[in-house]
Structure 1
Amino acid sequence: MRENVYDVSDKAQFYAGHSYRHYKSEVYPLFANILSTLKDGDVILDIGGGPGHLPYEFFKKQTEKSIEYWILDGSKALLKHAEGKLAGNDQIHTALIDFNKEDWGKGLPSANAIVSNNALFHLKPERICDFYTGLSGILRPNGFYLNQQSMLYAGGYHPHQNNVITKFLNKLPYDVLPQMPQFTEEEFNNMMESETEIKNRHQEEIKQAMAQKDLDPTIYYFHSVEDHLKALRQTGMEATTIWQKKEFYVILGVKE
């Protein structure tokens, strides 16, 4: 594992143990199908790849081509989980990265594809343009970028809030428009215990960080679809959305 940043493993247990049903049923197959167009010797960078869920699904189907796959994350614990999950796959590499740093891509190989799944909520608002500038610099000509992100929160909406839009969405049948992942009672209880433990353990640190306006990595920053598209286009890349379900969008960026 290549390291160049302090560890931020606070939510490792939650992310590694999450059933990720929403992604597994729709988003991961979409990503895997698009990534299957890559050729022998191509390189994938997985931003915020955490516990290795996407490469696990990708390599279940992709067994013939030699693809160099890099999992990048800010959590040493999650990367260790990924290394265990994907043990024996010599195409997998990991690197501990802080995406809020200006030189976050230093030392990484150039890539034919860069992907991210609901991981950029730790990206500070003032860093989004610089982040995408760095991303464009790493991406090879004719390379592409895929990002799946929850965008509804940027508009001030949340599945548990009592507002007009949320109440309307929550009345729709689950098979029409899923609102929240359908957990078993055990999965839900484990998730809540993990979240509570994290909040209790870091309450004072988070409070101090907020007071200093230098927020802890457990704090989320919600960027809109327009924020991502604008920042991507400022690099000279073409960008659009190619998939949406409720607050979840998949953004595609292509570099000429």
Structure 2
Amino acid sequence: MTDDRWEPPVVLLTVDLVILTLRESRLHVLLIERGIEPYQGAMALPGGFLQHPEEDLVTAAHRELSEETDLDAETLRLEQLGVYGDPGRDPRGRVVTVAYLAIAPRLPEPAAGTDAADARWQRVDRVLSGDLELAFDHRRIIADAVERARVKLEHSALATAFCGPTFTITELQEVYEAVWGIPLDPRNFYRKVQKTDGFIVPAGPTRKTTAGRPARLFRAGPREVLHPPMARPTESPSVQGAAP
């Protein structure tokens, strides 16, 4: 029997953004320092509530990123990462968030704005290890985003975007090591790259390395989806390797 007195629960909707990049050969995530309660002073993902009922989710994500970090969201390719709605995730009430992910090279330093006291890049290994206090369930969201990035490197040519126009196999390997969080055997890595047709193509002359030996140069090939994929080693990866 239907209870005519039933009313739907009040559910608030937010968007959060996980922006990943490589800086100094390490995977970094963009975080803000919250300037207001709840979790004032804690680090958090950029994001916030929809501004009005008619605001589109992606529009809200672009707006929040621009307002809180001064990054040009139009230059990023956002993809929906997931929806997070555990009842106790936000002390302000029942808040469901839609998280978006962007992975891009050579991103600039952010600048804080609106309710953010600060905005800066943070190393993913420090974030996931618990060294930094994070607001809400943002550590879980970042962990999901990092795993999505790791899978993307297995199945797509995304890693080449983090190299220069031409690069060595070693430089490409460093991208995989930074994102996967594990050291890779150079010989095995070279064989996997060479077996993946259209992933990279030769790019002319060699370049001298720090060891003094010339290294072959490559550029990104025409294939965007890798077949066979660049499968991760079977052992469980550490959290982006041990900190130096």
Work out whether the TM-score is over 0.5: no
| TM-score bracket for the superposition, by shorter chain length | under 0.3
- Specify the structure having the higher radius of gyration (Cα): 2
User: TM-score normalised to the size of structure 1?
Assistant: 0.25
User: TM-score normalised to the size of structure 2?
Assistant: 0.25
Bigger proportion of residues as helix = 1
